[in-house]
Chain A
Amino acid sequence: MTNQTPLLNIKNLSVAFHTEHGKVMAVDDLSFQIGAGQTMGLVGESGSGKSVTALSVLGLVPQPPGQITAGQIEFHGTDLLSLPDKQLRKIRGNDISMVFQEPMTSLNPVFRVGYQIAEVLRLHQKLSRQQAKARTIELMDWVGIPEPQRRYKSYPHEMSGGQKQRVMIAMAIACEPQLLICDEPTTALDVTIQRQVLELLKNLQKELDMSMLFITHDLGVIADLADEVVVMYQAKKVEQASTRQIFNAPQHPYTKGLLACRPKLHDNPQRLLTVADFMDATGQELTPDKSVLASQQKTDKSTQKTLLEVKNLKTYFPLKSGFFGRVTSQVKAVDDVSFTVRKGETLGLVGESGCGKTTLGRTILKLQAATAGEVFYDGIDVFKQSPQDLRRLRSKMQIIFQDPYASLNPRMTVGQTLMEPLQLHQSQNSKAQNLQRAAELMAMVGMNPDQLNRFPHEFSGGQRQRISIARALAVEPEFIICDESVSALDVSVQAQVLNLLLDLQDQMDLTYIFISHDLSVINFIADRVGVMNQGKLVELNTAEAIYRNPQNEYTKKLLAAIPDGLPKAK
């Protein structure tokens, strides 16, 4: 970096939020600089204050409840925080612009996308309607939107998530800003789309020679993008260093934990180290037990008995239209899928959103009616069971869902939630016995059994997911479908839940189908992997074979799209 005034200089920024629980510091005494043409990565988990930092730069922190309590944000040496609104507006969208996380909701649904891009040009560059339109079409072409002439007239809901994010990017670079702030721009996108958007941002940064502040929770994404990284933890900066140094020689225990807890494609430890292994609750550094990092010994399960057999399964959704809902066409969510799962095995199902993996899981459990095909569980035809028999079967087959917030009834205490399956399947037991069992289940998933009379909203996302796991375990199942069960969790929590699932599998000889969009997670947890695309199972093999030697074109594309998590060479 040069000795000139940095482009952006954040000095001792503190932002507080006034909540019903009193004043909470969202950003606490944060300082860093971004030089011209530099890309700065800002990394942290949800609630660490990284988004609030970005919003502060543009003066977009909602006040109230937010309040900037201290510090300066200097842009070319002028403090943005003390700038009058009128002048700040000239900078917003013009010199500094921003790409947000949710492309689905960040565009105004009632205006055409072309209009929304052109609006920036007409505002800051005073272009005429025609000029703005012509320039917008150029921009749309530049960010890789096909048929920009036609797409100019599209509404946001007519575009895919990736295209919407391209529109957001076109809007942000329209005035060729000096600083582009990207707030988790690829988090909501599928991995192959994420890859394309990251490439686009990287190229644009080079072509426009702009600086970038790139905010993410995923160190893998930032590795080959950023020159320097700031790591935030609980509103504070804990480490700042060059990307290379962060990845190769992290100093702070939190950074070490963050790096270790993310499953990687190239090695396969028995358990993941988590932040808690590096640092205790007070922030004191710990020495982690490295013995768990020994490679997994994948035992051959092909000699075990077949527990689940899926034969030519099809689930179609009718597309209704017209007044009385005539069926006009069908969506083939699951299209002729066959596979078997053996006892004690973990089958990973991987694919992008809309590929049918979730529908497949639900159809196997008969939570969704199948259109055709058969499912045998331990030799029993699941679809041909009477309601009573199906109920008995359901004590053996369980499911854990993605959303830890929606999967627990908000009006029931955790105890009531855990007692429900017990009363259903162990009706001979007394209430005291069931209560005892519920407490045991809590302990089993690493929770405090004294918290049985609390309600779900009193727990964090990770804790709720543990409770969901406890509920599934209550009926003593042999087989569990985990449907994106760790996707909504922060990486360090995700690692803990993955470890828990592996521990439980060892203890109880469980069989899993693990559904995820995340290839690294699947690689860590699964013995065999099935790749799904457009309702079809396109490839099924051992995890090792899939990752080392993919056969199917789609599998190759998917693997190529994963950020390798290695810092870029400068």
Chain B
Amino acid sequence: MVVKRLLMAVPVLWLILTITFFLLRAAPGGPFDQERELSPEIAALINTKYQLDQPLIVQYGQYLGNVLQGDLGPSFQYSDFSVNELIALGLPVSLKLGFYALLLALLLGVMLGMVAALYANKWPDLVAMITAMIGISTPNFVIAPLLILLLAVHLQWLPVGGWSGGQWTYVVLPVMTLSLPYIAAIARLVRGSLLEVLSQPFVRTARAKGLSSAQVLLRHALRPAMLPVVSYLGPAAVGLVTGSVVIEQIFGIPGMGRYFVQGALNRDYTLVLGVVLVVGLLMLLFNLIVDLLYRWIDPRIQQKGAH
């Protein structure tokens, strides 16, 4: 299964690269358009250096060849760096941010959802669900400035932005804002699926055995109730990656998301392609892990095969 999925990843990644490559080239403007026109000689020189004078299809072929050898090419904008080096700098930062955010979303989301389900239609449920509703309805680029205003500017508990090598004071605020919508979404999912599972006959069986409510909940109901949450992790990860583009922008964090937007604005072809490739690869890997996790939780899946 795993091998098959990994093989399947190759054409998907190729598709991603191809679409992005030609989209980039179809776009008006080029990497070295500046306020002041470059002299034709210099422009020609640069174009030769980066092989932009070659026919498009030749460039595409060469690029693919390089990628296969693990070389993502030189960055057009940051002329001293290769794309590989830039990603090596940005990726760990983005990964750390995303990982903490996902972890926080899972922990808080599941806890909140459990409380809501156990007190269904009573006040703790109401409070949790109203909070969750506001959470999923408020974009994190709205929450981020508000939190900065409150916690960083007024109270001055935390720094306004920056990363500072990932010191925890710098990490708290971005992780919180990034994970907030996902805490809310997971809480709602857990509540819904837990309520459904609790009405299943096998929960009645567990109670008929003489298990206590806590045992029934934690041992028998929670694991099946986690299934929708696990399948939500895929889309959530995609959301976190795109969300981190904004969060990195707002907090001035030197991650991949910032490279992406800057690269796109500056027509830094190789950098954008590199980021898209890495993100695509990450998504595929993550979805694979999620699938394995799903199979581990639900033994029924193994027989049915993919989907």
- Chain A residues near B (Cβ < 8 Å): 58, 60, 89-94, 97-98, 100, 102, 105-111, 119-120, 123-124, 155, 157-158, 168, 171, 321-323
A104 to chain B, nearest CB (A): 9
A89 touches B211 (CB 8 A): yes
B299 touches A94 (CB 8 A): no
A89 touches B212 (CB 8 A): yes
Contact with A along B191-207 (1 / 0, CB 8 A): 00000000011101111
Interface of B is mostly: helix
B300 touches A102 (CB 8 A): no
A372 to chain B, nearest CB (A): 28
B210 touches A157 (CB 8 A): no
B168 to chain A, nearest CB (A): 37
Give 11 pairs: A residue, B residue, CB < 8 Å, sorted on A.
A92-B210, A105-B201, A106-B201, A106-B205, A108-B224, A109-B202, A110-B224, A110-B299, A111-B220, A124-B210, A321-B305
For the complex of A and B, 8 pairs with smallest distance between CB atoms: A92-B210, A93-B210, A93-B209, A105-B201, A108-B202, A155-B299, A106-B201, A89-B210
- Assuming A98-B208, A100-B205, A155-B299, what are 7 further A-B pairs, CB within 8 angstroms? A89-B212, A92-B208, A92-B209, A92-B210, A100-B208, A108-B220, A119-B211
A168 to B208 CA separation, bound complex (whole angstroms): 11
Q: Which residue of A lies closest to B121 (CB)?
A: A64
A104 to B103 CA separation, bound complex (whole angstroms): 35
B303 to chain A, nearest CB (A): 7
A91 to B300 CA separation, bound complex (whole angstroms): 33
B297 touches A100 (CB 8 A): no
B210 touches A123 (CB 8 A): yes
A97 to B209 CA separation, bound complex (whole angstroms): 7
A109 touches B207 (CB 8 A): no
Answer yes or no: B96 CB below 8 A from chain A CBs: no
A60 to B201 CA separation, bound complex (whole angstroms): 11
A142 to B42 CA separation, bound complex (whole angstroms): 90
A238 to chain B, nearest CB (A): 28
| 281-307 of chain B: CB within 8 A of chain A | 297-300, 303, 305-306
A125 to chain B, nearest CB (A): 11
Residues of B contacting A89 in the complex (Cβ-Cβ under 8 angstroms): 210-212
Q: Which residue of A lies closest to B215 (CB)?
A: A123
Residues of A contacting B200 in the complex (Cβ-Cβ under 8 angstroms): 105
A463 to B208 CA separation, bound complex (whole angstroms): 36
Residues of A contacting B306 in the complex (Cβ-Cβ under 8 angstroms): 323
Interface of A is mostly: mixed
Answer yes or no: B36 CB below 8 A from chain A CBs: no
Which of B200, B205, B207, B223: most chain A Cβ within 10 A? B205
B223 touches A58 (CB 8 A): no
Answer yes or no: B4 CB below 8 A from chain A CBs: yes
A91 to B211 CA separation, bound complex (whole angstroms): 11
- Pick from A93, A105, A157: contact of B208, CB below 8 A: A93
A426 to chain B, nearest CB (A): 44
Residues of A contacting B204 in the complex (Cβ-Cβ under 8 angstroms): 60, 100, 106
A60 touches B210 (CB 8 A): no
- Pick from B202, B207, B220: contact of A92, CB below 8 A: B207
B210 touches A109 (CB 8 A): no
B210 touches A106 (CB 8 A): no
Residues of B contacting A60 in the complex (Cβ-Cβ under 8 angstroms): 204, 207-208
B8 to chain A, nearest CB (A): 8
- Pick from B211, B212, B298: contact of A109, CB below 8 A: B298
- Pick from A94, A111, A157, A171: contact of B303, CB below 8 A: A157
Known: A110-B297, A321-B305. A94 touches B210 (CB 8 A): yes
Residues of A contacting B223 in the complex (Cβ-Cβ under 8 angstroms): 110
Q: Which residue of B lies closest to A97 (CB)?
A: B208
Known: A108-B220, A155-B299, A155-B300. A91 touches B210 (CB 8 A): yes
Residues of B contacting A105 in the complex (Cβ-Cβ under 8 angstroms): 200-202
A60 to B224 CA separation, bound complex (whole angstroms): 21
B196 to chain A, nearest CB (A): 12
